[in-house]
Amino acid sequence: DVKVTQSSRYLVKRTGEKVFLECVQDMDHENMFWYRQDPGLGLRLIYFSYDVKMKEKGDIPEGYSVSREKKERFSLILESASTNQTSMYLCASRGGANVLTFGAGSRLTVL
């Protein structure tokens, strides 16, 4: 069974802290994505990566960066967390026919 694993399910951080969200997939997929999900806004793309060390900005990249050093791992970094980054963060990996497999999500609260 294919899997996308987000290691941190719930995080509480303070304003200004650096935050790392890790995502690992076991499907050998080249493409990986980070979305944030807020009620009534659907899924908004932050960054995606189409290969190791390659990244592209999505619709809302401001305040975020990403790292893809290995094919299976895609990390989202908040350099200095702010309260408006409180959200659910979803990682996904893309297989054939543009179908996404999602992780369970990381719910981040910034105080």
Partner 1 sequence: TQLLEQSPQFLSIQEGENLTVYCNSSSVFSSLQWYRQEPGEGPVLLVTVVTGGEVKKLKRLTFQFGDARKDSSLHITAAQPGDTGLYLCAGDGGNYQLIWGAGTKLIIKP
Write out the residues near partner 1 by the rule CB under 8 A: 4, 31, 40-45, 48, 50, 58, 90, 92, 94, 97-105
Q: Which of residues 17 and 22 has its CB atom nearest to partner 1 in the complex?
A: 22
**Smallest distance from the beta carbon of 39 to partner 1, in angstroms?**
8
Q: Quote the tokens at residue 77.
A: 């970094």
91 strand-pairing partners: 34
Q: Which residues contact 12 (CB under 8 A, 6 or more apart)?
A: 108, 109, 111
In the complex, minimum distance from the CB of residue 12 to partner 1, in angstroms, rounded to a whole number = 16
48 with 60: CB under 8 angstroms?
Answer: no
Closer CB to partner 1, 17 or 58, in the complex? 58
